Structure 1
Amino acid sequence: MEGLKKLEQVQRTIHVLQSIGIINPSKTNNDSERFLANFTLLLIQHCGELDISAKCQLIAEHMAKISTAYLMGALQCISGEGENQIESAVSLHCYHKEDPAPVQSISDEMAMVGLDAMLRASSTLEDFCRSYFMFHKMDGNQPESIFRHLPMLSFTESYIYQLDNLNEKLLQLPTGEVTVLDRDYDEDERSLSATSVRMLRRDPFRPLVILLEHHGLLTERIKEEFRCGEEYWALERKLCCALMSDNEISIEDAIRAIHLKSFDYRVLNLLLYHMRGEKVNELHMEFLSLSELLVEVSDDLFDYEEDILNNNFNILRMFVKYYGASAAPANLAKFITEAEEKYDRLLKELGPELSLKYQKRCEEATREGGKTSGPPLGTWHVPMVVEDEAKYRTEFSTSSRPRGQSVNKLLLNRHE
């Protein structure tokens, strides 16, 4: 009799939830409806001095802390299969105030970003809007075009920047003969790198994947670009560790890394296609990938000395290590020329209107970068290469020359 009464109560609750639009029969099954009904009945049960508002506040405060692992541990504990399951699940998945790392998530499966990552991502987002929106027949200077898609684009780019920042922190730790994720840390290093290692050893994009999937924005192409991002960071750690340890490197690894480096732009572009319900334009993707490659090489030349000091991936560093100081500039020039030849061919295939728009945007970006004379797209400048990086870092630490101040530039004529 008691069971029938409870079942009737559940059914009435389901009807109420349907009538006010909380439950949509076309989108839920019977089990989901019963769960929501039982949850509602739990909320309205008397519990001391707690009213409905207080109960809702408690749920809002604590729900994010309860992960799948926590609930599975609780189930085992309640069923008598384990005594410490809840405690271990809480220690693994809940927020730790003593963790000073930049990414402090309430749950390992909750995607969160910090203000620093958002600030770092802002310039990329601006460039993406101004350079890529035209490929979607959108005006990057119109607020309505930008803000309609900005929340998801901004969050995604900020999340990627956050992971990239963690990877950079690992590159600056002493490594010895192994990559930083494979070594055992001293106690004084553990607090600095624990969060970085935890995020990058496991599936670092999983929280973002869950978020995008929840919003119906995850595609196989986007997941593949996330895998490219993981591969890039792994190659960066491998190559930079080799340089710091004075070990040999693979030039194939270096070239693969520079091709992967702009994976975040491709993620944003694929997201924009999906949010707008557009089919991916493969010609545009191929052209933009080449453009991204050339921009990455240009940035690496500009940041060459800074990247030596910070032990960041830099294509010129890799060419110097592999080919030697004397042969590296010529080999890099050959690499750039081949990429530009393909770029020029694909640029013509875009069509006159889009091609002209993109060229104007490139000229605009060149001027904003400080180029006020000479060819509209600038020229390639290869800085004087550093043969002994360890000596350079030592000399820099005892000198007063500002970072980024290049000396004795070598001019590499840009392919016309």
Structure 2
Amino acid sequence: MRLLLTIAFVFNTFALSPLDEALSKLIKKHNLTSLPESQLQNQNEVILGSRLFAEVRLSGNKDITCMHCHHPMLGTGDNIPFSIGTGGAGLGKSRVQDGKGHIIKRHAPALINLGYDEITDMFWDGRVHVDWNKGEFKTPSVELNNKPELNKKIRNALAAQVIFPLLSVEEMLGKDNEIASKKGDLAKWDALVKRLLNGSKSAMYQNLFKRAYPKDFEANKIDISHVANALAAFITRNFNLVDTPYDEYLNGNQGALNESEKRGLKVFLDKGACINCHSGQHLTDWDYKSIGLPQIGPISSDATLNDKGRFEVTGNKADQYNFRTPPLRNIHLSAPYMHNGVYETLEEVVDHYNHTRPAIKNYIVTEVTQGHYEEKIVKDENFVNNKLRYQLISDDDIRRPLQLTEDEKADLVQFLKTGLASRRLQRLKEASKLLK
């Protein structure tokens, strides 16, 4: 009798529920596997990168850091629709233009899980592309592209990406300073490196660079590639967050997701058609898509109000209004959403995909969005632009109403919010509450 009970217990323990059975088939159909941790980084590079990430001396006017737009406590973003660059004041939702802060053209993308060599494109429009397996290196800097003795030292796409905000007048470079006055990209980068090694913090930075790159330091060969690689090492090491219930579930832990999250995952993989673009280990195809979004921006900025995304890199008309499909782990941390931050919640994002046709017409700039900026934020009302935004939607499943029920939408949002949330981050959040 005891033997029969034991056998029954074991059978019931390992038997899949109908929902788990359905998910198992969908997971196999889409060939989904968990995302492994990124490769280990040189600890001395990580330490140097951590200093550089919070270093105002990398900005022309010494008034902004990488962390201002990519704060670790804000999901590695800034939680506002458009970042406020050099000249602004404050952090995160408290950041303001302060009379002279520049409004950046796009929403600051999260830096979570970007340190993988298979990720070859960076920025919403993919203007940085590095694939050393194919010998490809393309960036907005013609000087850097044409200097292989320098660019070949830049480790991957993430490392190439991190040095371009340093050249942006609106983001970090500014105007009327000794860095901005230099002619050419390489000269500006060289001046920033010299500022680190010879400025008021020279002793600290000389020591950090020496520990991270001893041979190059002794040979007096420290350059922007070392800054790039150190920042990338820090981002890779500290923002690698793959310990999610979803990943545990893929690895065989049937109890990792609760019932609502499982139902949400089923919607994600089936009726919701999210998997069409958010596929693979990273939950993105790394492609560029148009999804019929309303476009907003400062009333004075035609470039932002008619942001054509990938087209601005390729010149291909089919790429108009296409933006990179973002990865989704820890997506709950990086509100507001989309390349322009038009949606404040994941519920709004799901509503958009559920019925895209009225999205542009019905969108209204909220007081929350306007409250971050001194300049008036408006929606692009140009009929031709908006018609094209809808016509160029990349996927028929996006153009066609999904007809998700309220319960299905709620479960999908639950999966996105908690099923894809790092357990380590959750523990850190709980610990921080106890300290208050």
Q: Same fold per TM (> 0.5)? A: no
Which structure would you say has the larger RCO, counting Cα contacts within 8 Å and 6 or more residues apart?
A: 2
* Larger CA Rg, structure 1 vs 2: 1
